[in-house]
Amino acid sequence: MKNDEKPLILVTNDDGITAPGIRALIEVMNKLGEVVVVAPDSAQSGMGHAVTVNDVLFLNEVKIDDGVQKEFQSSGTPVDCVKLAISEVLHRKPDLIVSGINHGSNASINIIYSGTMSAAVEGGIEGVPSIGFSLDNFSWKADFEPSKVFVEKIAREVLKNGIPKGMVLNVNIPNLPLDQIKGIKIARQAHAKWEETFDKRINPHGKEYYWLSGEFKNMDSGTDTDLYALENGYVSVVPVQYDLTAYQWIDKLKRLEDEDK
Amino acid sequence: MKNDEKPLILVTNDDGITAPGIRALIEVMNKLGEVVVVAPDSAQSGMGHAVTVNDVLFLNEVKIDDGVQKEFQSSGTPVDCVKLAISEVLHRKPDLIVSGINHGSNASINIIYSGTMSAAVEGGIEGVPSIGFSLDNFSWKADFEPSKVFVEKIAREVLKNGIPKGMVLNVNIPNLPLDQIKGIKIARQAHAKWEETFDKRINPHGKEYYWLSGEFKNMDSGTDTDLYALENGYVSVVPVQYDLTAYQWIDKLKRLEDEDK
């Protein structure tokens, strides 16, 4: 970025380009730089790091609100949107990629299933400082006003100081009025999982089908986790890496090499 | 598992239940235990850790070949298949989950996009020792015979000794005749990325669309990586974790907490 240039900021999400959460995010980013939005044309929740390899992708410039940002909607996944933006839309590599604000928490193991966070991870892989933001409220009518304060604070900090190579930030915001949010906590990913239950039904043609459902189960009693921070009124920030190597187990697994001899 | 019981093995993949790769995997697993297959009814490559939350899932018992395994195909993603299997199909928690054999390498950053590996990760989250297998050959006509030898060796070892909690194995097999494969190497995930190019076309109705394409770029000169092992004729085994916290950066990020005070 040259000194006289505004930062170039790419905005995406997984709830779709018309979601109130991305509208709040765009509003904040318009204060910080030149904003380009490339986001899915429909909800893509639960898409994880899916990319579209067996189908075509559409990309169209759109105007959703009165903001100064440029906007494009795509038929692809959140990760497709980041790839399309960098390859086809932006005139240079962005200075920041932000994804969200997700309607619903992406704390703990939810990061694995989250299109919001996968878009941020894709940004990191592309070498761009990237942040995923989520509000702990699934409702379309969630109040994003308190979130905006922390989104701006964290985005400004990252634009100023960057993020170390190889990681992105997973930011989760508690569903509280601003005066009840106690501050920011750097945290680790809590050990938790979804206990699945499938709702089995019969369609009008007599064929069985299932709806995925489930209950979230926190198995972590630590006080340094993202779930603990959220439950105690803090905004959680987890540094997330995409080198998935479990280095601590490499030596232990050498037995596989030995057995092979 | 009781002493007189055979190990219960769940088999899945992302190339679809009729792919030659999963047929090879089932053949090997039938030697090691009681095999249940729950796999996608069509190719799901590039689906990452996608789960189906906004659509229904179908699940049908099928018979594809003459093996003794029980088989079910699902309209869902690889991760859906693991969830459906554990919740709706299996009579007890399996002793091993294997995914693949993928037609094409899932070494390095490919793990992030891979449905094969996401199925294995989902198995790990469920607390089951899990392995993803991939052959470094995209062809439907790839020769899986040499792979079978290493699949059996590694699966037997894992059935005997388990895998530490919190990790799964990413196994990639070079596309070589058996006598040219030098053995097994425990490795770390190489630092690499896809450089995207989009092929822009016009459909018969005059509308622009894109096909995602790209070139794989290895940016890692290390000799301890999965890519190095594969290129040098070894089967690579990377221990993979799904706690994505970048612990080494937690302290450094404390400035975000401080600035907030």
How big is the A-B interface in CB pairs under 8 Å? 230
Q: Give yes or no for residue A4 having a pLDDT over 70.
A: no
Q: Give yes or no for residue B261 having a pLDDT over 70.
A: no
Residue A183, judged by CB atoms within 10 A of its CB (0-12, 13-18, 19+), counts as middle
Residue B214's pLDDT band (cuts 50, 70, 90) = confident
Residues A35-65 pLDDT 10s: 999 999 998 877 777 888 888 999 999 999 9
Nearest residue, CB atoms, A48 vs list B49, B154, B184: B49
What is the dihedral sign for C-alpha B102, B108, B114, B120?
Answer: positive
Q: Which residues of A touch B240 (CB under 8 A)?
A: 244-246
| Domain layout of chain B by residue ranges | 8-190+222-245
Residues A101-156 pLDDT 10s: 999 999 999 999 999 999 999 999 999 999 999 999 999 999 999 999 999 999 99
A178, A149 in Cβ contact below 8 A?
Answer: yes
Q: How far apart are CA A213 and CA A199, in angstroms?
A: 7
Q: Give yes or no for residue B133 having a pLDDT over 70.
A: yes
Residue A80's pLDDT band (cuts 50, 70, 90) = very high
What is the arithmetic mean of pLDDT over B81-90?
96
Task: Decide if A58 and B260 are in contact by the 8 Å CB cutoff.
Answer: no
pLDDT, residue A128, reads: 97
Q: Give yes or no for residue B19 having a pLDDT over 60.
A: yes
pLDDT, residue A5, reads: 81
Q: Give yes or no for residue A96 having a pLDDT over 90.
A: yes
pLDDT, residue B92, reads: 95
**CA of B237 vs chain A CAs: smallest distance (Å):** 9
Q: Could you tell me which chain B residue has the CA closest to the CA of A254?
A: B186
Q: How far apart are CA A112 and CA B167, in angstroms?
A: 14
Structure-token pair, residue B260: 């907030």
CA A96 from chain centre, in angstroms, equals: 13
Q: Could you tell me which chain A residue has the CA closest to the CA of B55?
A: A211
pLDDT, residue B48, reads: 76
Residue B240's pLDDT band (cuts 50, 70, 90) = very high
Q: Per the CATH hierarchy, to which homologous superfamily does domain A8-189+222-259 belong?
A: Survival protein SurE-like phosphatase/nucleotidase (3.40.1210.10)
Q: Give yes or no for residue B156 having a pLDDT over 80.
A: yes
Q: Which residues of A touch B252 (CB under 8 A)?
A: 164
**CA of B65 vs chain A CAs: smallest distance (Å):** 24
Residue B258's pLDDT band (cuts 50, 70, 90) = confident
pLDDT, residue B102, reads: 97
Q: Give yes or no for residue B2 having a pLDDT over 60.
A: no
pLDDT, residue B1, reads: 55
Q: Could you tell me which chain A residue has the CA closest to the CA of B112?
A: A49
Residues B55-76 pLDDT 10s: 899 999 999 999 999 999 999 9
Q: How far apart are CA B112 and CA A133, in angstroms?
A: 20
A115, A78 in Cβ contact below 8 A?
Answer: yes
Mean pLDDT (chain B, rounded): 94
B122, B156 in Cβ contact below 8 A?
Answer: no
pLDDT, residue A3, reads: 60
Question: For the sheet containing B34-40, what is the strand order?
Answer: B59-62, B70-74, B34-40, B8-12, B96-103, B130-135, B167-173, B234-241, B183-186
Conformation bin of residue B233: beta by default, left when phi > 0, alpha when psi is -120 to 50: left
- Supply the DSSP string of B24-59, one letter for each residue: HHHHHHHHHSEEEEEEESS--TT-TT---SSS-B-E
Structure-token pair, residue A242: 């995409």
Nearest residue, CB atoms, A186 vs list B186, B187, B254: B254
Q: Which CATH class is domain B8-190+222-245?
A: alpha beta
Residues A157-180 pLDDT 10s: 999 999 999 999 999 999 999 999
Task: Decide if A260 and B53 are in contact by the 8 Å CB cutoff.
Answer: no
Task: Decide if B247 and A188 are in contact by the 8 Å CB cutoff.
Answer: yes
CA atoms within 13 Å, Cβ hemisphere of A74: 29
Across-strand partners of A179? none
Task: Decide if A257 and B54 are in contact by the 8 Å CB cutoff.
Answer: no
**CA of B49 vs chain A CAs: smallest distance (Å):** 5
Q: Could you tell me which chain A residue has the CA closest to the CA of B168?
A: A246
Residues B172-194 pLDDT 10s: 999 999 999 999 999 999 999 99
- pTM > 0.90: yes or no: yes
Kindly report the number of other CB atoms within 10 A of residue A2's CB atom. 6
Residue A216, judged by CB atoms within 10 A of its CB (0-12, 13-18, 19+), counts as middle
pLDDT, residue A260, reads: 60
Q: How far is CA B4 from CA A182, A191, B7, B76, B235, in A?
A: 56, 34, 10, 34, 33
Q: Which residues of A touch B200 (CB under 8 A)?
A: 88
Task: Decide if B164 and A249 are in contact by the 8 Å CB cutoff.
Answer: yes
Task: Decide if B56 and A209 are in contact by the 8 Å CB cutoff.
Answer: yes
Element containing residue A192 per DSSP (H, E): strand A192-202
DSSP A57: B
Task: Decide if B245 and A212 are in contact by the 8 Å CB cutoff.
Answer: no
- Supply the DSSP string of B176-209, one letter for each residue: S-GGG--EEEE-BPP-EEEEEEEEEEE-TTS-EE
The pairing of beta strand B59-62 with beta strand B70-74: antiparallel
Nearest residue, CB atoms, A184 vs list B46, B52, B260: B260
Residue B240 neighbours by CB under 8 Å, 6+ apart: A244, A245, A246, B111, B117, B120, B121, B167, B168, B169, B170, B189
